[in-house]
Amino acid sequence: MASPKTFFSCLSLLVALILCFSPTHSTNTIGKGYRLISIEESPDGGFIGYLQVKQKNKIYGSDITTLRLYVKHETDNRLRVHITDAKKQRWEVPYNLIPRDQPPPVGKAIGKSRKTPITVQEISGSELTFSYTTDPFSFAVKRRSNGQTLFNTSSNSAFGEMVFKDQYLEISTSLPKDASLYGLGENSQANGIKLVPNEPYTLYTEDVSAINLNTDLYGSHPVYMDLRNVGGKPYAHAVLLLNSNGMDVFYRGTSLTYKVIGGVFDFYFVAGPSPLDVVDQYTALIGRPAPMPYWSLGFHQCRWGYRNLSVIEEVVDSYQKAKIPLDVIWNDDDHMDAKKDFTLSPISYPRAKLLNFLDRIHKMGMKYVVINDPGIGVNDTYGVYQRGMANDVFIKYEGKPFLAQVWPGAVHFPDFLNPKTVAWWGEEIRRFHELAPIDGLWIDMNEVSNFCSGLCTIPKGKKCPTGEGPGWICCLDCKNITKTRWDDPPYKINATGVQAPIGFKTIATSALHYNGVREYDAHSIYGFSETVATHKGLLSIEGKRPFILSRSTFVGSGKYAAHWTGDNQGTWQSLQVSISTMLNFGIFGVPMVGADICGFYPQPTEELCNRWIEVGAFYPFSRDHANYYSPRQELYQWDTVANSARNALGMRYKILPYLYTLNYEAHMTGSPIARPLFFSFPEYTECYGTSRQFLIGSSLMISPVLEQGKTEVEALFPPGSWYHMFDMTQAVVSKNGKRVTLPAPLNFVNVHLYQNTILPMQQGGLISKQARTTPFNLVITFPAGASEGYATGKLYLDEDELPEMKLGNGQSTYVDFYASVGNGTVKMWSKVKEGKFALSKGWMIEKVSVLGLSGAGQASEVEINGSPGAKIEVSSKEHTYVVGLEEEGENKSVMVEVKGLEILVGKDFNMSWKMGISGAN
């Protein structure tokens, strides 16, 4: 027979489940909301109001009686709406982790109720307007330019009033049916980048394989972009709820509801109106993406299972023999002594031999990155553990370091919210770098992952782990922890897609961080806080630009690290999903992102690996990685894959100057490296849901094969002229945009460059250091057959391992390129900023290719800086059209190439020629 307590718990859970998942549920069932009792301007230019609960209830706990509302237009295009307990401080994302303005402190005198409450009032900024209703309290955010409502919490038949309890916060907004939403991750979205109504969106960092669709994964990013087409004009904005507690977000198509298990409502609205404006404004708040070293844009090879040093030596040599580019070789935990952080195996990776290997690859220009997990092995003979205990750096449970299990066996987890931990961690990084001069760190398992659950002890009389089997089976003696409301909260988020306890296979959520912060609140920022500490540690070693790859991410992680999408599968579906995840992270402010090429496990088919490298060669972060138990899958293992890799990576290494310039632009403005098509074509609504193609920068479109057995691909081409990068005489042209079926044999990937672009390229190579020394060529594209046109491009160059990526340090150069055609004359010129660095490297432009010129004639009277061009070769070829000018009723067009140039990149230049074009004006 169940005890009364057990019966009551079961009844409460049943009520909660009905409330959570009933299709007719609205928050009217939970409460009647709040009413505004006062509002006044604050000294900092914001507005402070107080809200009083209308009717209390006990569902999911007691209501907080009085709330403090704070509203401020922080910039011309950013509005903040902050709601918290009026009487005492609540948990918020630490202000030292994400630096931002703090609202006035809570706990001051609360205003009295107005005798004549105001029904509606507005607080206007330059771009956004905040309006509110007093009783019941609701608010709306509108775009000032067109009056469109962007966010509106006023209850309707779809949802009820705002709820604010200690462990349950709920708020909703209505949405127009035609709004296209993107974001709310991290998850693997089977239906593409565009959010789909009635799919689950849970945000809580978990070690859940990326093969699990539509469930909470490694990162938490409670932000979405909303793109609407209003009267033929596109408008984008974004909404961030800056909250690290677990949450369910219910998107129903015409409404969106947040259900959060703690913290505060801290909303930021950025006005856009273009998608690029949105990420610019968003990253201005959360932190600009980290500058990446040039070599990190090369190709990376990794595997869990490179059991000894001779194996990675063989891998490096095999890539060179196969003539496949490779910049970085990686180690998973194989290099470690008994899987302990900051150690080397004296048997498999003896230090003297490793140093010789690193000296050899470093002289070639290659780099070496190793993994690091946060769990520190409990071992009294292990120096890292000893120093950690001495410095009291670990997360506590009931006053003792919390015990968990990961790869070394029993571990404690560092508390990165503790300043002492950050200093200790940096010192351990320094010590390890002296042991082995690594070039970057890969921080994994930092959601945080635990092979056990609950309160554990080290078993007596048995070995744990046994050293046999996969190593992820819990062997500690553990018991569940459910005695507190932090371990068993009243509302159950849909963790791991099955409403798993929030402490399952992670740190107990009643464990404590520095200053009494509960894991319950700080859980989803663990990986972020480790990233910040790791960045600080790496930066202090040699003053070089850090490279960090982190599995767990949060709002702001992109300021410090790159990300890979975790443990995927060698399946066609994982290949397809990787594009959506990559594009989402660009929106999240983490542009350096990619998936494990060819899949982490199981082994892919040869055909799939061919197709995957054709996609992965254009991920911003391009790495092949495989599981310990999978057969080897380096790109040279199959002849056909090696061929595809030489083609696709060969193109990547030619466009490295473009990728590095995009890296600079990302650091300056937040702009993603890989982008959805709608970023460049927001007026073209047909591309709003496109998830099987993507752009690199604004103009380079990748249209890969993503299905087994296909030798052609249907690609969407937005309006304009597109030129094939592997054969620039081929073009696709349409006035209104169209879907085109393109040939795509096994070793071939369709990459097209858009009109009005100047693309800086080099000659490529097997290592980025080599490729970077080769001459430049410029590819200039005009609308096909146009007698008049204009094109632009950019190039950023610097000493790429300097900590900062900026002009003004004497070690960088920035070039704006321009080109025009008109009156039968082609012109191109440059404007150079701080050319000294480029001149010191002797970089030259050797070739110019101009695409889309009207007619079929030859170039003549070539002039460079006002003088006749000497020792140059001029040639022209007529364009052929997959879909083209014949349909559009236009004239033919040609590509003109000028070779043998010796134009210095670091100096302004101008160049022109006459075209012998029939019918030219």
Distances (CA, A) of 499 to 211, 503, 508, 755, 772: 18, 11, 16, 50, 51
Among the listed residues 220, 285, 255, 289, the one whose alpha carbon sits nearest the alpha carbon of residue 72: 285
Q: 141 has which bridge partners?
A: 130, 151
Q: For residues 453 and 501, is the Cβ–Cβ distance under 8 A?
A: yes
CB atoms within 10 A of CB 644: 24
How big is the chain, counted in residues?
921
Q: For residues 896 and 850, is the Cβ–Cβ distance under 8 A?
A: yes
Q: What is the residue whose two structure tokens read 């992270």?
A: 585
| Interstrand relation of 328-331 and 255-260 (parallel, antiparallel or unpaired) | unpaired
CB atoms within 10 A of CB 858: 15
Q: For residues 633 and 616, is the Cβ–Cβ distance under 8 A?
A: no
Using DSSP, state whether 783 is helix, strand or coil: strand
The phi, psi pair for 829, rounded to 5°, reads -160, 170
Across 674-687, b (16+ Cβ under 10 Å) vs e yields bbbbbbbbbebbbb
DSSP 8-state symbol, 632: P
Q: For residues 171 and 51, is the Cβ–Cβ distance under 8 A?
A: no
Q: 874 has which bridge partners?
A: 898
Q: What is the residue whose two structure tokens read 């995009």?
A: 662
* Distance between CA atoms of residues 663 and 648, nearest Å: 20
Distances (CA, A) of 749 to 138, 297, 656, 713: 51, 19, 18, 10
Catalytic residues: 444, 447, 567
* Distance between CA atoms of residues 205 and 183, nearest Å: 15
Amino acid identity, residue 513? H
CB atoms within 10 A of CB 169: 26
The phi, psi pair for 201, rounded to 5°, reads -130, 95
Using DSSP, state whether 7 is helix, strand or coil: helix
DSSP code per residue over 866-911:
TEE--S-EEEEEE-EEEE-HHHHT---EEEEEEES--EETTS--EE
* Distance between CA atoms of residues 171 and 152, nearest Å: 10
DSSP 8-state symbol, 29: G
Among the listed residues 89, 197, 94, 91, the one whose alpha carbon sits nearest the alpha carbon of residue 555: 94
Distances (CA, A) of 842 to 619, 774, 796: 30, 10, 15
The phi, psi pair for 81, rounded to 5°, reads -130, 115
DSSP code per residue over 306-370:
--SHHHHHHHHHHHHHHT----EEEE-GGGSSTT-TT---TTTS-HHHHHHHHHHHHHHT-EEEE
Amino acid identity, residue 560? Y
Q: How many CA atoms lie within 13 A of 434 on its CB side?
A: 6
* Distance between CA atoms of residues 388 and 761, nearest Å: 49
